[in-house]
Chains A and B, each alone.
Chain A
Amino acid sequence: MGKQIMDRTGAVCLLVTILVAKMFTPQPRMVAEQAGSAAWLVVLLTGPLSLLGYWGLSALLVRFPGLSIAQISLKALGRVAGAVVGILYAAYFIWMGGVMLREFVAGFRVAVLPSTPVSVLAMGILVIGLYAAVKGPEVQARLAAYLIPGMAVLLAITVVGVWRLLDWRQLTPVFGYSLRNTLLLSFPLTSKHSEILVLGVLAPLLPTASVRRLGLSALLAGYVGQVLFLLFLGSVFPFPAMSRLFYPMLELTRMIEVSEFIQRIEALFIFLWFFVAAFAMATLITTIASIIRDVTETTLFNPFALSASLLMFTIAFIPFNQVELMWLDWLTLRTWGWAFSFGLPILTLAVAVLRGKRGENGETPETRAG
């Protein structure tokens, strides 16, 4: 993978896609299970917290212009501690990729292809993901620029198709189980936006002056998208119905009915679902391989990408069943994801400030502008 300058719109689309890919997984169900009818409110409340976390990440990227998150770790924390932090980032993304892969393929198996082995589905998604990863983030960004409008159109069709089922009263009681539970949940669920850490890998490919704004645009778009999606989902499947559906998005598309003319069109969404899954895998493989490349200070990418895919494939089959998978996802990614995506960058920033470490030329876009 050579050094490329990414298209800004494509970069935002890439980040938004990886942020909202979760809506095709059982994650809306998990949030509804924990937050009750306040699922949308919990995600709404994660906004300010994730902005705070994003401030740390973006400040770090701006302080070390032209460097990736792993390179920054090495520079700010020293070779050993920096490598440990870099490996933690990579491990987090490998785990995330494995869990997401299994969630995607388990959904396909239950809902679409009941007699296809999950390993075949996982391999199919990973092969496409690996191919796109090898092609590089620039290609992925261009692809994302097509994927996002496609997702928007299909979501619009879904909204129209199930409009008759929407009822805002289904979103009540507004605080779900309790106000305390809603507020407490909003902190760990900041992890819902943890994929924004991918920006740390894309940063060297983007114009330094626009990194902060691009990341913020993607974070806000992903955040608004997720809140609106949960509002929409909760208006059709009120609690406790949503907490009992493994794949609410799929159920929603199965209910699209516009008189007798438009029915049973979920096949369209299956394609989108598959491509979003493969795309998410491509982005995660790219992220992992880039981090390991930067930590090891080599120029190799493809061998790391292949290894990352194999590791994700292996992790995907650790849970014995769907229930264990959900449990692991909640216990790890949703509860502690924020620590990796926002906690580690803030910690690195703090150490860099204390040690007076800065980017190579000692200046940031702000100081240059000033």
Chain B
Amino acid sequence: MKKIKKVYVLGALLGVLAVVSALATTWLLERTLFIGTSTSFVRAAGFIERIFAPEAVYGSTLYNLIGIRIDWQFMLVIGIAIGAFISSMLSRTFKIEFVPPIWRERFGSSIVKRGLFAFLGGVIAIYGARLADGCPSGHGISGLMQLTASSFIAMFLFFAVGILVARIIYKEGGSGK
């Protein structure tokens, strides 16, 4: 029999994890929670703002709506970093890297340049994800699994626009280094 590729086994395990997680939260927390990540970045923003300008946080409609507290999803997001750390240590794939190889090939090895675009992209990505009410975890994995109508459109746009922009910045135009 042909060996099943690792990526399919891992993908299937994530599917199982998503179902087990939905069952576990239903039983233990009395509400079904689905895997998602992007709201936690807004909560993190709320925590930081609360240190410097607490009244701005208490007066914010959105911060009140989502609640600035460490919840299930916030712990999940922290867990991702821990899981990736453990896994990379065990498989000896942990590697300190400041500029990703394909970025370096195209745009050079400047950390400042990479940092600037990573920052800017991060700002735009999370703004878009929160507006669309989900990212590739919330819409992509959890939404499609539930046959959520909006998730199909969101996921299509993530990829379609991503593919278009990737072609522009990595292939055409630009002066390289």
A and B interact: no
